[in-house]
């Protein structure tokens, strides 16, 4: 039996996000206020993220990694609340997630393919 790298990554993310969410909720007073303030229609959110990905300069050699990062930000915000984006620890957590993804050859290959699809417009951000 093998352990799926995505499951390990998901478990690590849930642990880190639980701490970030607790701090964010404590600062906001209630989780509901932060959630209401961060709601956007899925269409406008997708358009904004697609715009952010399209804005990465074509000559930027780090373009695929940046596109994946934008996608990860969107997925995590969708799953755990937009207030997460304002947490000062969120960028460091994203760095750690991306490093972790590169450590596993199979996951790194999937990330590379995801970056190419995002840049080609083949996957619409959430």
DSSP3 helix / strand / coil % (the chain, rounded to 5)? 75, 0, 25
Q: Which long-range contacts (CB under 8 A, 24 or more apart) does 58-63 make?
A: 63/115, 63/119
Parse the chain into domains and list their residue ranges: 5-120
Per-residue pLDDT tens listing for the chain (126 residues): 455 555 665 666 566 556 555 655 555 554 443 443 344 455 555 778 888 999 999 999 999 999 999 999 988 888 888 888 899 999 999 999 999 999 988 888 999 998 998 898 866 555
Nearest to 72 by CA among 88, 42, 106, 95: 95
pTM, whole model, 2 decimals?
0.65
Q: What is the pLDDT of residue 30?
A: 46
Evaluated on CA atoms 20, 24, 25, 27, the torsion sign reads positive
């Amino acid at each position: 039996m093998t352990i799926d790298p995505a499951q390990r990554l998901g478990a690590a993310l849930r642990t880190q996000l639980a701490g970030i969410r607790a701090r964010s909720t404590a600062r906001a007073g209630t989780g509901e206020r932060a959630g209401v303030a961060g709601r956007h229609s899925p269409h406008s959110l997708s358009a904004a993220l697609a715009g952010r990905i399209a804005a990465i300069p074509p000559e930027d050699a780090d373009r695929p990694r940046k596109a994946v990062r934008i996608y990860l930000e969107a997925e995590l915000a969708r799953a755990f609340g937009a207030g997460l984006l304002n947490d000062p620890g969120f960028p460091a957590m994203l760095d750690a997630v991306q490093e972790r993804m590169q450590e596993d050859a199979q996951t790194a290959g999937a990330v590379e393919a995801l970056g190419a699809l995002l840049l080609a417009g083949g996957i619409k951000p959430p």
